[in-house]
Every structure is written in C-alpha cells, then in structure tokens.
Structure 1
Amino acid sequence: MRQRNKPWADDFLQEHTELVLADPRQHKHSWQSYFANNHPIHLEIGTGKGQFIGGMAEQQPDINFIGMEIAKSIVVTAAQKVLDADLGNVVLLNEDAADLQEFFGENEISTIYLNFSDPWPKNRHEKRRLTFQKFLEQYKEILHANGEIILKTDNRELFEYSLVSFSQFGMKLEEVNLDLHVEEDPQNVMTEYEEKFSAKGQPIYRCVARFG
C-alpha cells in the first residue's frame, strides 16, 4: 500500500528524538540502561500506525516496548499515538529490520511480535519474508534463551510458510491458532489491519514459537 507523503515528518522526528531515536545503534547491549529499569523488552517489527504497540504498552506498564518501522510516513503516526497516550515505556526506531543485529545484542529481547507482515507472495521474494531463515537467525541471536516469537496474520499462505520455516529451523511451536477471534480474548490487542480483516469475517491466524 502506497503511503501518503508527510512533508512535516522530518521536522517531527527531529523534535521527538526521545521517542523516535535518532541513533539507536548506540544503545546496543544497553537497552535496559536506556529504559532505566530491568523490565523485559518486547520488540514489534513492523509497527505500522502504532495501535498495537500503544495498546500493549498501556496494558503492560512493566514491559518496555520497542517498535521498528521502516516507513517514515508511518512511524510518525505511531509516534503521535504514543505521545497522545503519554506512554513512557515505548520507543520507536525508523529502521530496517534486515539490520537487527546492528541495534540489539545477544539476549536483549524477550519477545518479538510479527504482526501482519508483508507476505511477499512471489517465490523470488522469499528472502524478504520476516520468517525466512536469515531473519530467524537474527531473532535467535537477540532473543533470550526462552524468548518467543508471536506472529499474527490474515494471510494463510504466509502463516503456513512460517510454520514450516519455524519447524525446519528447530523451533518449538507452542500455539497454532487458525481463527483467533472465534473466542474473544480481552487481553488481545488488535492492530489496525486485524480490526479491518476480522470485521469482514476473515480468520486471523496466530502462532507462538520458541527456539530450542
């Protein structure tokens, strides 16, 4: 989906470097020092407009949340939501997830969320899928030994591909849900896409996977 250009985005990011960090690489190996507490750190890759990470941060104030979003025109919308909600346990990175190990050291992250990631359906684009082996290798490095990956999507092909990818990588599948909203979970925080697709009656797929 083409995103509308926001000519004010650069100025906004320069004014809010405490939220959308200008140089996140300097915090590698020291994210808990940055947050000034020992709370677990959860990472959402592909934050979108920020509904999920904002809702999670409000629901779980004893968790530190980092949202990564490559599109500048989108990350500013997420930042506005975080600012409006006055959330002190969220920071955002306007960066590419292909470079995760530039930002995070070993065992720094407790949970990774992959919410409605681009399915990249063409075979020649397989390496861009966030559950491709090269991404899993990075996740394994930055996650705690007992850390988890939580994936949600409306795309069955991506979901099935991811289950196979996780399994082939030797991961343990702790949950496989083929229709998340059959029974509503009050703890489930929906993304913008999740609201849209579930309202149309489309099933939402969810899985939880761990390494080792």
Structure 2
Amino acid sequence: MRVRNKPWAMDKLQSYPQYVLSSPEQYKGKWNEVFVKNQPLHIEIGTGKGRFITGMAKANPHINYIGIELNENVIVTALDLLIEENLPNLRLMNVNANDLGDIFEKGEVDQVYLNFSDPWPKTRHAKRRLTYKSFLKVYEGILKDRGEIHFKTDNQGLFEYSLMSFSEYGLLLKYVSLDLHNSDFEGNIMTEYEEKFSSKGSRIYRCEVQYR
C-alpha cells in the first residue's frame, strides 16, 4: 500500500523526544532507565500506525513496549495515538531493524512482535523478509535466553516460509494457528491491517516461537 508523503512528519517526530527516541543507541545496556518502571521489555518491529502496540501497552501496564517503524510517514500516526493516550510504558523508535544490535544489549528484550510484515514475495527478495535467518540472528542477539517471537500475517506464503525459517534456525514452535479469528486464542489485539483484511474474509495466521 502506497503511503502518502508527509514532509512535516520528521519535524513532528523530533518535537516529541519524550515519546520518540531519536538517538536510541545511547540507551544500549540501560533501557530500564528509559521507563518509569523496570519491567519486561517487548518490541514490535514494523509498528505501522501503532494500533497494536498502543493496545498492548494499555492492556499490559506491567510490561514496557517499544514500537519500531522505519517509515516516518507511518510512525507519525502512532505518535498521535501515544500523545493521546500518554502511556508511560510505551516509546517509539524510527530506526531500521538491521540496527537493533547497536541499540540493545543481549538479554535486554523479552519478546519480539512481527505483525503483517511486508511479504517480499519474489524469491530474490527473501533476505528482506523479517523472518529471514539474518533477522532471526539479530533478534537472538538482543533477546533473553528462551526469548520469543510472536508473528501474525494474512499472507499464507509468508507464513509457510516463516515456519520453515523458524524451524531451520532451530526455534521451538510453541503455538500455531491457521485461522486465528476462528480459534480459541484469547486477548488478541488487532492491527490496522488485520482489521482490514479480516473484514474482507481473509484468514489470519499466527504463531509463537521460542529460542532454545
């Protein structure tokens, strides 16, 4: 989906340093200082407009959250949600997922969320998929031992590829749903894409995997 260019987006992001961390590398090894409470840290990579991560932060005040989005034209909408809600356990970062190793120490993150990531359907673009082995190595480098990835998508091809990628990397498949909205899973918080696709009858796939 094409995103409308917002030439003012970066200026707005920089105007709210209390919510959007412009130089996150400075907190490497001391992320507990960023939040009011020292508690588990979950991150969403590709947070989009912020509906999911904001909903999670509201529902789980005992967990700290960071929404990570590379596109400033999109994350500025997540900022609007955060300004409105003023959640002490949520922050945003406008950075590339490849740079997470420069931002977090090993063991600083408890859980990673990947929601409706770009499927990059062409085989030659496989390395760009957020479930490709090089990204799994990045996540392993920041997660605690036995840390988890929770993954949702409407794209069957990406889901099948990701299950294979997780398995080949040696991750433990803890939960797999081939039709999330018709399952017994409780507490699901939808993303903007999820609501759009599911309303059109698309099946939503979800899995939870754990590093050994």
| TM-based fold match above 0.5 | yes
Please report the RMSD computed on the Cα atoms of aligned residues, expressed in angstroms: 1.1
Aligned to 2:107: 107
Any idea what the Cα deviations from partners look like across 1:105-143, whole Å, max 9, x if unmatched? 100111100000000000110100001010001111111
Q: Which runs of 5+ in 1 are unaligned?
A: none
Residue 86 of structure 1 pairs with residue 81 of structure 2:
no
Write the distance in 2 (CA, Å) between the matches of 1:98 and 1:195: 28
Pairing of 1:166-177 with structure 2 (within 5 A)? 166-177=166-177
Write the distance in 1 (CA, Å) between the matches of 2:14 and 2:98: 24
Deviation at 1:146, TM superposition (A): 2.1
Code of the residue aligned with 1:118 in structure 2: it is D
After TM superposition, the score normalised by the length of structure 1 is 0.97
Deviation at 1:38, TM superposition (A): 2.1
Write the distance in 1 (CA, Å) between the matches of 2:47 and 2:58: 15
Aligned residues, how many? 212
Write the distance in 2 (CA, Å) between the matches of 1:127 and 1:183: 31
Structure 1 residues 185 and 210, CA gap change in structure 2 (3 angstroms): closer
Deviation at 1:184, TM superposition (A): 6.3
Pairing of 1:170-189 with structure 2 (within 5 A)? 170-183=170-183, 185-189=185-189
Q: Percent identity?
A: 53
Write the distance in 2 (CA, Å) between the matches of 1:22 and 1:99: 13
Code of the residue aligned with 1:14 in structure 2: it is Q
Deviation at 1:18, TM superposition (A): 1.2
Aligned to 2:198: 198
Deviation at 1:186, TM superposition (A): 4.9
Write the distance in 2 (CA, Å) between the matches of 1:36 and 1:49: 24
After TM superposition, the score normalised by the length of structure 2 is 0.97
Code of the residue aligned with 2:100 in structure 1: it is L
Aligned to 1:73: 73
Write the distance in 2 (CA, Å) between the matches of 1:120 and 1:4: 21
Aligned to 2:55: 55
Aligned to 2:131: 131
Aligned to 1:31: 31
Residue 35 of structure 1 aligns to a residue in which SS? Answer: coil
